[in-house]
Amino acid sequence: MESANRVILVTGGCGFIGSNYVRHLLAASPDTRVVVLDKLTYAGHRPNLDKEEKGGRCEVVVGDIADAKLVESLLEKHQPGSIINFAAESHVDRSIDEPAPFLHTNVTGTFTLLEAARKHMAATKEKASGTFRFIHLSTDEVHGSLEPSDPPFSERSTFAPNSPYAASKAAADHLCRAYFRTYGLPTVVLRPSNNFGPYQFPEKLIPLAILRALAGERIPVYGDGKQVRDWLYVEDTALAVEAARLKGGLGEPYQVGADAEKDNRTVLLAICQILDRMRPRPNGKPHADLMETVTDRPGHDRRYATDASKFRKHTGWAAKTSFEAGLEKTVRWYLENPGWCEAVRAKGYTGERLGLTRR
Burial class (CB in 10 A: 0-12, 13-18, 19+), 189: buried
183 is catalytic: no
Give yes or no for a contact between 257 and 317, defined as CB atoms under 8 angstroms apart. no
* Interstrand relation of 194-196 and 261-263 (parallel, antiparallel or unpaired): unpaired
Active-site pick, 38, 52, 93, 140: 140
Active-site pick, 141, 173, 203, 301: 141
Ranges of beta strands (E only) in 138-247 are 187-192, 194-196, 219-222, 228-233
Collect all residues with Cβ–Cβ distance below 8 Å to 305 and sequence separation of at least 6: 146, 150, 151, 152, 153, 193, 228, 230, 257, 261
Q: Would you call 305 helix, strand, or coil by DSSP?
A: coil
Burial class (CB in 10 A: 0-12, 13-18, 19+), 249: middle
Active-site pick, 21, 165, 222, 349: 165
Burial class (CB in 10 A: 0-12, 13-18, 19+), 154: middle
**Ordered DSSP codes for 206-230:** HHHHHHHHHTTB-EEEETTS--EEE
- C-alpha distances (whole Å) from 70 to each of 1, 18, 66, 254 are 17, 20, 9, 29
How many other C-beta atoms lie within 10 A of the C-beta of residue 151?
A: 9
Give yes or no for a contact between 62 and 74, defined as CB atoms under 8 angstroms apart. no
179 is catalytic: no
Q: Would you call 288 helix, strand, or coil by DSSP?
A: helix
165 is catalytic: yes
Query: Active-site positions?
Result: 140-141, 165
